[in-house]
Structure 1
């Protein structure tokens, strides 16, 4: 006798997850993990802060972006929550009235942790590529690295890997440069 088909997770399943967890629906499965650890938060918050002034506010940079922490993305059947995401305002002139975004971002940043790294790489990266995200940065606080990828016809092309105190000046935010060590907790 055949195994019954696994039930696909619903938005109601996601809403039932306790607030101290991050919940996503990836390939039909409810995926949960605890809120990020302090080193993870340091990296994400510092990167968001470095990009906010020049790109979100137009101070010391070109402006023209929305840069947001942990937005809820509804990409087809998937509900993803990257650590950071950015939309060019030419594509998203105003923020939606909903608690989520249906328009894929232009840039996504995932901060890797031991519990999320495999899912971020093996499951979420292909979804981002399929939905037209142009750039993805993967940050790993433990070895202090940043990998920058560019979407090339639905396939990710590694642009560079930076580490420790290297200077960041990478697409789509190559109008500015800053020291990668800004992201690491001392």
Structure 2
């Protein structure tokens, strides 16, 4: 996910004579426009916009999947691919970088500000400050809610990890790196050129 800043802490934790309250959606609404908020286990986590390597990988994956599986002239269809959808699972509010729903589970795209139906697939683009959150706490919630596939993309290491849920646990289905051309579940129809996710870049001045 994006560069993150944790705000607040878990609910019902004693801090001296104070008890921190659980975050609510009003806390997300109060964030500045350049921040994206999530609530996990009652904790508000606010994230700033990502650096360019994150943005390039994010845009490339979303664009390729959207074109291939949803909107392209030769697209096989069968998926809704969305950029940074807001997911509400009880008190938890998550915003994956990209998510996809199979059309048999969501035949029509509803005009809603957030989704309570768990996606079939999510992709998180890792950054140093949020990699642990994406790998652990968010994946645990995705498994609990029935998400079938999770992709973890690391622009720094130039890797894509593919996980499939089996009996509530994440089973690694493949790790791909560099500029390989791959076919990764659940989008095997597409030959994905990993080199498109991390083009050559110049160091910041």
Q: TM-score, normalised by structure 1?
A: 0.95
Is the counterpart of residue 25 in structure 1 residue 39 in structure 2? Answer: yes
Counterparts in 2 of 1:61-76, with a 5 A limit?
A: 61-76=75-90
Q: 1:185 to 1:22 in 2, by over 3 A?
A: farther
> Which range is displaced more, 161-170 or 130-139?
161-170
**Secondary structure of 2:60 counterpart:** helix
- The aligned residue for residue 119 of structure 1 is 133
**Secondary structure of 2:20 counterpart:** coil
1:129 pairs, out of 114, 126, 143, with: 143
Shift of 1:67: 0.5
Report the Cα distance in structure 2 between the residues aligned to 1:36 and 1:82, rounded to whole angstroms.
13
Q: Is the contact between residue 33 and residue 115 of structure 1 (CA under 8 Å) also seen in structure 2?
A: no
Is the counterpart of residue 51 in structure 1 residue 65 in structure 2? Answer: yes
Shift of 1:22: 1.4
2:157 pairs, out of 143, 147, 154, with: 143
Report the Cα distance in structure 2 between the residues aligned to 1:10 and 1:17, rounded to whole angstroms.
12
- The aligned residue for residue 5 of structure 2 is none
- The aligned residue for residue 10 of structure 1 is 24
Structure showing greater Rg? 2
Shift of 1:168: 2.4
Report the Cα distance in structure 1 between the residues aligned to 2:140 and 2:38, rounded to whole angstroms.
15
Give 5+ residue unaligned stretches, structure 2.
1-12, 201-205
Give 5+ residue unaligned stretches, structure 1.
none
Q: TM-score, normalised by structure 2?
A: 0.86
Report the Cα distance in structure 2 between the residues aligned to 1:8 and 1:157, rounded to whole angstroms.
32
Between Structure 1 and Structure 2, how many residues are aligned? 185
Q: Is the contact between residue 8 and residue 28 of structure 1 (CA under 8 Å) also seen in structure 2?
A: yes
Report the Cα distance in structure 2 between the residues aligned to 1:169 and 1:75, rounded to whole angstroms.
30
- The aligned residue for residue 42 of structure 1 is 56
Is the counterpart of residue 168 in structure 1 residue 197 in structure 2? Answer: no
- The aligned residue for residue 103 of structure 1 is 117
Shift of 1:5: 4.3
**Secondary structure of 1:8 counterpart:** coil
Provide the alpha-carbon RMSD of the alignment: 1.4
